[in-house]
Amino acid sequence: MLKLIIARHAESQWNPIGRYQGLLDPDLTERGLNQAKALAKELRKEKIDVIFSSPLKRTWRTAEVIGKLIGVEPLKEERIIEIDHGKWSGLLVEEVKERFPEEFETWIKRPHEAVFEGGESLKEVYERVSQFLDFLKSEFEGKTVLAVSHTVPIRCMICYLLGVDLSKFWAFGCDNASYSVVLMEEGRNVLQKLNITCHLGDLYVEGHFAL
């Protein structure tokens, strides 16, 4: 069995204002840094053997805070980087709704069909995170692995692990500095915890519905 802990990065500078980040690289806010510290304290009880992180600043800094507390050096993993939002990158949700109304409707109502002009499709993200998860299962049997990622790859990971159609992408909560736990057993995966945020206390902020 492999115990997989999937954590979303702490609050970035663009999360509170609802701006699409994609591969752009804003840093954590002060609250985000405190969220990362709270997440690190929560995960200290786990005997984490390996930490993989998206290389973007918001994920990497979150992983560094956790790694420093538990004594594990994070490893950069491109396959769990955020989706490339293409022409949406850097725009506010309201700006996207105005400029790309049809594409936005597809993103919200039929995410499995979403293709971001100049960027990636959701199916492409699903493919790369599934390759990462297969890699973990083959290489880290008996270990506890932490993956620090973003909303889109995390929801795709949950869909893949549970065998849920990608059309159900929005069915899973994914708040800043939350974590989920999946036990990857022989022949099945068991979702033990989903979008846990109780460790954040007053630092909790609900995730934006369209991000």
Give per-residue pLDDT as tens, 19-41: 999 999 999 999 999 999 999 99
Pairing of strands 179-185, 188-196: antiparallel
The Cα–Cα gap between 24 and 159 comes to 25
pLDDT band at 100 (very low <50, low <70, confident <90, very high): very high
Phi first, then psi, for residue 170 (nearest 5°) are -80, 0
- 208 carries an active-site annotation: no
pLDDT of 91: 98
pLDDT band at 3 (very low <50, low <70, confident <90, very high): very high
pLDDT of 179: 98
Give per-residue pLDDT as tens, 50-82: 999 999 999 999 999 999 999 999 999 999 999
The single residue of 9, 85, 112, 199 carrying the catalytic annotation is 9
Q: Looking at residue 23, what DSSP letter applies?
A: T
- 85 carries an active-site annotation: no
Which domains does the chain possess? 2-203 (3.40.50.1240)
Say if residues 74 and 59 touch (Cβ distance below 8 Å).
no
pLDDT of 182: 98
pLDDT more than 90, % of the chain? 97
- What is the pTM (predicted TM-score) of this model? 0.98
